[in-house]
Amino acid sequence: MKSIFERLRSRRLASAFVVLATLSVAVVAGSFAAHGVRGQEQANSSDATPLHVTNSTVPPNDFVRIAKAVGPAVVNINTQTLPKQDSGKAHKGNRLRTQPRQQAPDDGEDDDQGNMEDFFNRFFGGQGGQGGQSDQSNEVQEALGSGFIVDPRGYIITNNHVVEKADKIYVKLASDPDNADQRLARVIGTDKATDLAVIKIETSVPLPTVKLGNSDLAQVGDWVEAIGSPFALSQSMTAGIISAKNRTIQPGAQGQFQHFIQTDAAINPGNSGGPLLNMNGDVIGVNTAIYTQSGGYQGMGFALPSNTVVEVYNQLIGPGHKVVRGSIGITFDARNANSESVTRLYGRGVIVSQVQPGGPAEKGGLKMGDMINSLDGRAIRDSDDLVNEIANRRPGSSIRLGYIRDDKPGTATVTIGDRDKIFANLTGAQAEEEPASQGEAGEGKLGIVVRETTPAQVTKLHTPGMAIQSVRPGSFADLQGLEPGLVITRINKQPVGTRAQYNTVVGKLKNGDDVVFELLNPRQPTQGLIVVGGKLQ
């Protein structure tokens, strides 16, 4: 059976092959017409000299060296989005949460930037890519992206938009044969604010990796290369230069943490999540977006800088598997901070547009209309400076803000809050809480949400247990084949008939432990005991 990569590639190139085949027929027909005419004299070519291949070699350049060194660590990512049930009930592969369209929780514009979608096309794998079909589609949606290995144990960096809606994620290494089984990957963590994701595949041998370079040292005019799978053509390399730095292409809230490297190295659909490399072969960016009016390369691509990538990655592989950013619960219009007229009349700083009732800023004494001009005694350069400084502070820590109110200076001591939770309060969205606060000890570790069995189920199964409500795609439980509806009776021989028992057993599990589930299926009680397990990663 052909792999998804082969199928997509063949579909992509089919029309081109048809044209070429048609041209070939025309050439053959023309040749026959020219040489097959009855009575035409055969041309004499006895004086023609046969051609020979010259064995001269071209010294390898830096591009050749980089392709050989980095190519083995660049991977193809193939995702599948399964048909969704019309009833909306949970089934294997359903997301545990769906995020509403978000506005900035802190220091951003209130305007909806939806009209940017026509200007700013994210490139995910195929034509239309992920999200191009309705969630109610009856067909499995397949798409392609790229990624690169950063840890020999199988940790891979890619874009969040490559994997965020996928029910199944498969990875193909550069060294894998075309007919090899695809490697199932699971999500370690994602960050929508920077559009980054970390996924992992299992491996019995160390894998080749890339090196992360210092993107701050990159300069406009530097040569760069991009490697990925544009249009399903794996291990494709293109070269260009850095044409701009610190490029924000989504104004306001949505672009607060995305300050891109701009390049004219050709990147296309399928390159998404692949590396942008300097001439040392170091990754200085993750190819994330293109400006296009045709759906393909038009001379401008955008890569998230490696320094940002490293900061996000190190948090995503941590115990919480999420990026925690600080916030003080204000919004502002970034345009005012860059207006010369506003600066001349009000001074340099950030004018507060809104203060969240009961939030950190209000508790610290800030009000709407205040102009924040310093942080811990240091002058604020611009709105990005303020956002980045606050976001990098740990929730619970304090900062001292200087401000101007009615032409009079003042100071306020503000305790930093969690950006996600403050954002939820500002927009009315449900905060994405930690598994422990939800009472779901197994959601973070195992990837499942459970509830205690009902009295009717206990009677039917003759034992109490924890009924699975949902399974996170790519999680440990998903890889073991657990599905909504199954009932867990024991884990590692320990009964889990109550919430307290379940939380105690799961709470002791750690990475590297063997985890074995004993399950029953209420829908097929005659199936008997089901025993599955694996090593927790």
Cβ atoms 160, 192 nearer than 8 A: yes
Catalytically annotated residues = 161, 195, 272
Tokens of 469: 């409500």
Distance CA 228, CA 297 (A): 14
Helix (H, G, I), strand (E, B) or coil at 73: helix
Q: Is the dihedral of CA 63, 174, 148, 121 positive or negative?
A: positive
Instruction: Mark out the alpha helices in 114-220 (DSSP H runs).
Output: 160-163
Rounded Cα distance between 349 and 360, Å, is: 19
H/E stretch holding 28: helix 4-35
How far, in Å, CA of 200 to CA of 207, rounded?
12
In whole angstroms, what separates CA 94 from the centre of its chain?
Answer: 18
Distance from chain centroid for Cα 435: 21
Q: How far is residue 449's CA from residue 402's CA, in Å, rounded to a whole number? A: 45
The span from the CA of 401 to the CA of 323, in Å, is 24
Within 13 Å and on the Cβ side, how many CA atoms surround 348?
A: 8
- Phi first, then psi: what are they for 504, rounded to 5°? -65, -45
Q: What is the DSSP string of 426-462?
A: HHTPPP---TTTTT-HHHHHT-EEEEEPPHHHHHHHT
Query: Can you tell me the distance from the alpha carbon of 212 to that of 150, in angstroms, rounded to the nearest whole number?
Result: 8
